[in-house]
Amino acid sequence: PTFAELGLQPALLAGLERLSRPTGGKTWRTCCAAGRARHPGREEAAGPAAPRGLVGLASPELAAQWAGGARCARPGAGGARLHGGGRRGRAAEAAAGTSPGLAVLLGTPGALREALRRRFLALERLRWMVLDEADSLMDESFTGLLEEILAHAPLAERTQVVVVGATFPAGLSETLAKFTDVGRFITLSTQSLHRLPPHVQQKFVRLKGQDKLPELLQLLKERPSSAGAVLIFCNSASTVNWLGYILDDHKIKHLRLQGQMSAAARAGIFASFQKGEVSVLVCTDLASRGLDTSSVQLVVNYDFPDTLQDYLHRAGRVGRVGSKEPGAVLSFVTHRWDVDLVRKIETAARKRTGLPGMDSSINKPAPKGVSYRMFLENIEELYISWFGLLILRLNNLNLNQNESMSVRCTALLHFIAAHHHQLILVIKT
């Protein structure tokens, strides 16, 4: 069906028609929809900001990119963006300074909730809402915030919801169902959804954990400056910091980006990387969703991702529209449980099919729970994997008697910090 036949709000209709044209990434094309949305007769009366359009975003970096795209799509359009990470009350004060007749508001969940609680923001006039990179917004750190925001919006009455993402997480339909009829959602997808780009080389290197760092250092030192930008993904903020210190010691110029950094420290980092001021970015999955990385020609999975969804998003940072070269993805494979994911990735790439276990439908019923036996097997594997790794690490530290006790303790603490999420999952279960 055409967008007009879907009964979309006029405010979104003209811009969303561009989604069917191959003129850029999904974020850019949805920016065009938001930027071209027209809301005649905006009142300028005093009061809280009352936007007609709202875009929910998972990070300040993505909000900045959206703001730039919307300005390009419709120069002079009334818009503002809110994001947290600074001192308490900063986001609410920013909301208080916006125009009551605002057309479009871009915001991260924490900042939007703060502005709503302090009554600097009202959503009664909302006509449309975009949830970009839905799987990031459904992260456990955002779910409660998102539900509070959705509760303030008149979703059941007149507000149209657009959910954007390469992958839709489990629980999304249940969350939306609390506020609107998910049965009325219509899924629009491309034929290449959940498929690895065929023009991007996927390379897997099987090696021991202790060999990853020398392999990476050799790669970066031998790589010519004209070879394009490099994204290095780690699974935790602590690994990003640790790896950054090592690169500093080896005089390798780079930037770091991870979610535990303060707003002041994060400001401008990704913009500098996009401009080519620095060609190496060490990051967590924060940089794997939605951000424009057309200059990247190599993605390195220093830590192999935990899920196929994460791998798909990381691999999608290279070979993008506007890239000069097809690029490549290099993954270090160190654990036996990573090998199963590698096999699935290789099979999907060879057969040109989508990666398994991914869903693109919001209104599809949630999968039934796993069996009790499978549950016990998963818990057993978690225990074995984490404590097995800890024992192996202790053995390695004891064997190397030439290192001082402080060096060995530091290495052990780094290992625990890098794998603490696995232990937390065991304890919670």
Tens digits of residue pLDDT in 387-429: 555 555 555 555 445 556 666 566 666 666 665 555 555 555 5
Residue 140 lies in a domain: yes
Note the pLDDT of residue 379: 54
Note the pLDDT of residue 409: 64
192-206 b/e with 16+ CB inside 10 Å = b?
eebbbbeebebebee
Residue 129 lies in a domain: yes
71 or 131: which leads in pLDDT: 131
The confidence band for 171, taking pLDDT boundaries of 50, 70 and 90, is confident
Contact 314, 287 (CB under 8 A): no
Residue carrying structure tokens 């491309």? 190
Cα(86)–Cα(426) distance, rounded to whole angstroms? 33
- What is the Rg, in whole angstroms, of the alpha carbon atoms belonging to the chain? 23
Range of the domain at 43: 10-184
Question: Are residues 334 and 215 located together in one domain of the fold?
Answer: yes
365 or 317: which leads in pLDDT: 317
Residue type at position 384: I
pLDDT at 253 over 50: yes
Note the pLDDT of residue 198: 86
Residue 280 lies in a domain: yes
pLDDT at 126 over 60: yes
Question: Are residues 168 and 228 located together in one domain of the fold?
Answer: no
54 or 166: which leads in pLDDT: 54
Question: Are residues 18 and 163 located together in one domain of the fold?
Answer: yes
pLDDT at 51 over 80: yes
Note the pLDDT of residue 424: 57
Contact 58, 289 (CB under 8 A): yes
Note the pLDDT of residue 385: 55
Number of neighbours of residue 183 by Cβ within 10 angstroms = 9
Question: Are residues 313 and 403 located together in one domain of the fold?
Answer: no
Cα(106)–Cα(83) distance, rounded to whole angstroms? 8
Question: Are residues 125 and 262 located together in one domain of the fold?
Answer: no
Most confident of 74-78, 126-130, 331-335: 331-335
Question: Are residues 171 and 216 located together in one domain of the fold?
Answer: no
Note the pLDDT of residue 408: 58
Question: Are residues 116 and 210 located together in one domain of the fold?
Answer: no
**Residue 375 CB partners (closer than 8 Å, separation 6+):** none
Last residue of a domain, one of 184, 214, 248: 184
Note the pLDDT of residue 239: 95
Residue 195 lies in a domain: no
pLDDT at 322 over 70: no
Last residue of a domain, one of 184, 209, 229: 184
Is 84 exposed, middle or buried (CB count within 10 Å of its CB: 0-12, 13-18, 19+)?
buried
pLDDT, mean of residues 177-188? 86
Number of neighbours of residue 409 by Cβ within 10 angstroms = 12
Prediction pTM value: 0.72
Question: Are residues 319 and 376 located together in one domain of the fold?
Answer: no
Work out the percent of the chain whose per-residue pLDDT is above 70: 64
pLDDT at 250 over 70: yes
CATH number of the domain where residue 70 is located = 3.40.50.300
Work out the percent of the chain whose per-residue pLDDT is above 90: 31
3-state SS class at 38: coil
Question: Are residues 213 and 159 located together in one domain of the fold?
Answer: no
The confidence band for 187, taking pLDDT boundaries of 50, 70 and 90, is confident
Range scoring the smallest mean pLDDT among 140-144, 201-205, 257-261 = 140-144
pLDDT at 314 over 50: yes
Secondary structure element (H or E) that encloses residue 186, with its range: none
Question: Are residues 32 and 123 located together in one domain of the fold?
Answer: yes
Note the pLDDT of residue 420: 58
Most confident of 66-70, 140-144, 250-254, 416-420: 250-254
The confidence band for 222, taking pLDDT boundaries of 50, 70 and 90, is very high
Residue 366 lies in a domain: no
Residue 359 lies in a domain: no
Alpha-carbon distance values, 155 to 77, 120, 364, 371 (Å): 24, 20, 19, 36
Note the pLDDT of residue 174: 87
pLDDT, mean of residues 326-339? 92
Residue 416 lies in a domain: yes
Question: Are residues 104 and 217 located together in one domain of the fold?
Answer: no
Question: Are residues 380 and 339 located together in one domain of the fold?
Answer: no
Joined tokens for residue 240? 């990003």
The confidence band for 45, taking pLDDT boundaries of 50, 70 and 90, is low
pLDDT at 374 over 50: no
Mean pLDDT over all residues of the chain? 76
pLDDT digits (tens, 9 = 90+) for 12-26: 555 454 444 444 455
Question: Total domain count for the chain?
Answer: 3
Distance of alpha carbon 339 from the chain centroid:
24
Note the pLDDT of residue 64: 82
Residue 358 lies in a domain: no
Last residue of a domain, one of 184, 217, 247: 184
Q: What are phi and psi of 53, to 5 degrees?
A: -130, 140
